[in-house]
A and B are shown apart, each in its own frame.
Chain A
Amino acid sequence: MSEQSLQKVIALVAEVLNVPAVKVNVGSSIETLQEWDSEAHMEICLAFEARFGAPLDMDTIGEVTSVRALADLLDKGKG
């Protein structure tokens, strides 16, 4: 997971959840952040798709429930 992708994902997650970016870090996930519930997760995935142009399939939407997983996915999309 690259630092660049990590920062992009943190910015995106903070924006969608409407929380300060400092509240989101590499360890944040649907388990740790109160604002990141199942509805918010769909919005994060929609925003991810729109911003990075990477279509997500149904299984992936179910898997990328953490900042780390999203950043890894972003790296993979680039590779």
Chain B
Amino acid sequence: MKTLLLSNINMKPLVAALRPMEVVSGEYGSLLLDLVNPQSVAAGADIDRVLCLHDSDGLLGDALYGEDTPDQCEALIAALDGYCARQPGKIVVSHTFCFSSARWLTYADPLQPQSLRTRETALNDRLLALAKRTPNLVLIDLEGIVRRHGEAALYSPAFWYAGRIRYTSLGFRELATAVQQALDAYGNKAKKVLVLDLDNTLWGGIAGETGPMDIALSEEGAGRCYRDFQRALKALTRTGVLLAICSKNNPGDVDEVFERNPMMILRRGDFASLRVNWEPKPQNIADIAQVLDLGLDSFVFLDDNPVERSLMATTCPEVTVPDFPAKPEELPGWFRNVIVPRYFGKYVISAEDRNKTEQYRANEVRHGLAQKLDLDSFLAELGIDCTLHVNEPELIARAAQMTQKTNQFNLTTRRYQIPDVKRFVESPDHAVILLDYKDKFGSEGIVGLAILDLTEGRFDTFLMSCRVIGRKVEDRIIAKAGELVRAHGGTKLIGELIPTRKNGLVASFFEDHGFAVVKAEPDGHKIYEKALA
């Protein structure tokens, strides 16, 4: 994977800051030319990603000083638009316009027709609109970085006038981190579960000693630090991250906090799973992983106690265990600025993400019902209601997200980015089938995906979310696929199994659904066929 860096200024030091990412730098100042010229280095087949990190002041030129001269900002938006459309297979990373804070109109600036502030907002509105309709454009909020560190820390006048280098080494580091994190977020590399300790983590003090009302949790002082931390955690659940509790406490003491302390922002229902007992935490976290049916490598563990952290890190090395801030006042900012972007960065937030906790909690209730009934009567009791979507452009991001995140019920484990799925949706020889699941306990949202090659009748991809495993809804996707292939003139369906370390669950999936093996490789790779009636 090769990445090209383009700019209108000298951004070469970013190449070192981005290592180990393999980055080549375009010619100095070649940003606009390389984007619009179809023969440029940016069009090369060996380039997978292009970083377009411009200097906004430079693009604005003399207009920055109120001169009525044309600037290149509009040209950049048009160039990004054209390039992304011509190169749908390449991922383009750019950032918002961010002019220097100095205004030649000083305090009159916001009120004047030539206002720089207004111009910046208008340009960014257009850039954001472009990013919303361009699946292969990833936009970074540069203003956010500048707001956090300040121009004085990020920009260096000495290096600027000595060699057209705008940023300080801190600036390059922050920009490199943002690029890396935005690409991870775009590629759905985020962790899924945040497991939290309670005493001195979710609130100050020890509930078992002070009682439920005297823990530090309030709108003042240290209590406010923990309350703001809880607010940030609540916001995180709205992006599809599951919260869980792993605490050494008497369950009764913790129940009282949830029931009686009115300062708790987080309620019991905000947690997908709770383990309050005196068992070792690594054992509890393994239990949580099993109940939620998620791998430990998607878990982050936060605990103020260094002994617990160290035990977790050595016993469960797959779990991510960050350090914990020494002072409560650092907790909310550290969590928002470091932990969330580093481990839970999202680029697209789907409707499923917003309701994820409810879906997992409903799963626990369904588990309970399943134990009381045999499978078929259980399924009948559930009142399952599925909708199938075929080639729905609105669901492309969700489909790409599923190919990235699904490991267990995944027959071929082919990972796709948004532009890849878009190609399948637009191709007349392919069908992207998505299954929307609902039952009497609630909606699970889009939980099944098949990508079908209509000409061959072949399942390129077949996957289901673990949340609906065992409910026989995969039959509906196979039936729909048969219908589509027949309409395309085909007479059979072809299945494929590529075994991985994690997909043992589906080793006999096609056999179980009436397919016959027609080819089996020594490595377990199998091809199946089933004639269409």
Residue of B nearest to A62 (CB): B162
Instruction: Verify if B10 is at the interface (C-beta below 8 Å from A).
Output: yes
B163 with A42: CB separation less than 8 A? yes
Q: Mark B1-38, 1 if CB is under 8 A from A, else 0.
A: 00000000010110010000000000010000000000
Q: Mark A7-48, 1 if CB is under 8 A from B, else 0.
A: 000000000100000000000000000000011011101110
- Rounded to whole Å, the gap between the CB of B177 and the closest CB of chain A is 15
- Rounded to whole Å, the gap between the CB of A11 and the closest CB of chain B is 15
A58 with B162: CB separation less than 8 A? yes
A46 with B162: CB separation less than 8 A? no
B165 with A46: CB separation less than 8 A? yes
B169 with A61: CB separation less than 8 A? no
User: Per a CB cutoff under 8 Å, which of A16, A41, A50 touches B163?
Assistant: A41
Instruction: Verify if B349 is at the interface (C-beta below 8 Å from A).
Output: no
Instruction: Verify if B161 is at the interface (C-beta below 8 Å from A).
Output: yes
- Bound: A41/B165 CA distance, A: 12
Instruction: Verify if B325 is at the interface (C-beta below 8 Å from A).
Output: no
Q: Mark B511-527, 1 if CB is under 8 A from A, else 0.
A: 00000000000000000
- Rounded to whole Å, the gap between the CB of B414 and the closest CB of chain A is 37
Provide the residues of chain B in CB contact with A77, threshold 8 Å: none
Provide the residues of chain B in CB contact with A58, threshold 8 Å: 157-158, 161-162
Instruction: Verify if B459 is at the interface (C-beta below 8 Å from A).
Output: no
B169 with A50: CB separation less than 8 A? yes
Instruction: Verify if B65 is at the interface (C-beta below 8 Å from A).
Output: no
- Rounded to whole Å, the gap between the CB of A15 and the closest CB of chain B is 9
Q: Mark A41-66, 1 if CB is under 8 A from B, else 0.
A: 11101110110000111101110000
Provide the residues of chain A in CB contact with B170, threshold 8 Å: 50
- Bound: A61/B171 CA distance, A: 18
Residue of B nearest to A18 (CB): B16
User: Per a CB cutoff under 8 Å, which of A16, A38, A39, A46 touches B172?
Assistant: A46
- Rounded to whole Å, the gap between the CB of A48 and the closest CB of chain B is 10
- Rounded to whole Å, the gap between the CB of B9 and the closest CB of chain A is 11
- Bound: A73/B169 CA distance, A: 19
User: Per a CB cutoff under 8 Å, which of B28, B159, B161 touches A45?
Assistant: B159
- Rounded to whole Å, the gap between the CB of B110 and the closest CB of chain A is 33
Provide the residues of chain B in CB contact with A50, threshold 8 Å: 169-170
Residue of A nearest to B162 (CB): A61
Q: A39-B163, A47-B169 are in contact. Are A61 and B158 (CB under 8 A)?
A: yes
Q: Mark B132-163, 1 if CB is under 8 A from A, else 0.
A: 00000000000000000000000001110111
Q: A42-B13, A43-B12, A46-B172 are in contact. Are A57 and B165 (CB under 8 A)?
A: no
Provide the residues of chain B in CB contact with A41, threshold 8 Å: 163
B158 with A38: CB separation less than 8 A? no
Q: A47-B169, A50-B169, A61-B163 are in contact. Are A42 and B158 (CB under 8 A)?
A: no
- Rounded to whole Å, the gap between the CB of A59 and the closest CB of chain B is 9
Residue of B nearest to A43 (CB): B13
Q: Mark B440-460, 1 if CB is under 8 A from A, else 0.
A: 000000000000000000000
Provide the residues of chain A in CB contact with B172, threshold 8 Å: 46
Residue of B nearest to A57 (CB): B158
Q: Mark B477-520, 1 if CB is under 8 A from A, else 0.
A: 00000000000000000000000000000000000000000000
B158 with A55: CB separation less than 8 A? yes
- Bound: A44/B415 CA distance, A: 40
- Bound: A54/B458 CA distance, A: 63
Provide the residues of chain B in CB contact with A60, threshold 8 Å: 158
Provide the residues of chain B in CB contact with A46, threshold 8 Å: 13, 159, 165, 168-169, 172
- Rounded to whole Å, the gap between the CB of A54 and the closest CB of chain B is 12
Residue of B nearest to A41 (CB): B163
User: Per a CB cutoff under 8 Å, which of A42, A43, A47, A55 touches B162?
Assistant: A42
Residue of B nearest to A45 (CB): B159
Residue of A nearest to B28 (CB): A39
Provide the residues of chain A in CB contact with B169, threshold 8 Å: 46-47, 49-50
Provide the residues of chain B in CB contact with A39, threshold 8 Å: 10, 12, 28, 163
- Bound: A66/B170 CA distance, A: 24
Provide the residues of chain B in CB contact with A43, threshold 8 Å: 12-13, 16
- Bound: A38/B159 CA distance, A: 12
Provide the residues of chain A in CB contact with B16, threshold 8 Å: 16, 43
- Bound: A46/B158 CA distance, A: 10
Residue of B nearest to A40 (CB): B12
- Rounded to whole Å, the gap between the CB of A51 and the closest CB of chain B is 9
- Rounded to whole Å, the gap between the CB of B165 and the closest CB of chain A is 5
- Bound: A71/B466 CA distance, A: 61
Residue of B nearest to A56 (CB): B158
Contacts A43-B12, A61-B163 supplied; 11 other A-B pairs, CB < 8 Å:
A39-B12, A39-B163, A41-B163, A42-B12, A42-B159, A42-B162, A45-B159, A49-B169, A50-B170, A61-B159, A62-B162
A-B contact pairs, 15 of them (CB 8 A): A39-B10, A42-B10, A42-B12, A42-B159, A42-B163, A43-B12, A46-B159, A46-B168, A50-B169, A57-B158, A58-B158, A58-B162, A61-B158, A61-B162, A62-B162
The 4 A-B residue pairs with the shortest CB-CB distance in the complex, in nearest-first order = A50-B169, A42-B163, A61-B162, A58-B158
User: Could you tell me which B residues sit within 8 Å of A by CB distance?
Assistant: 10, 12-13, 16, 28, 157-159, 161-163, 165, 168-170, 172
User: Could you tell me which A residues sit within 8 Å of B by CB distance?
Assistant: 16, 38-39, 41-43, 45-47, 49-50, 55-58, 60-62
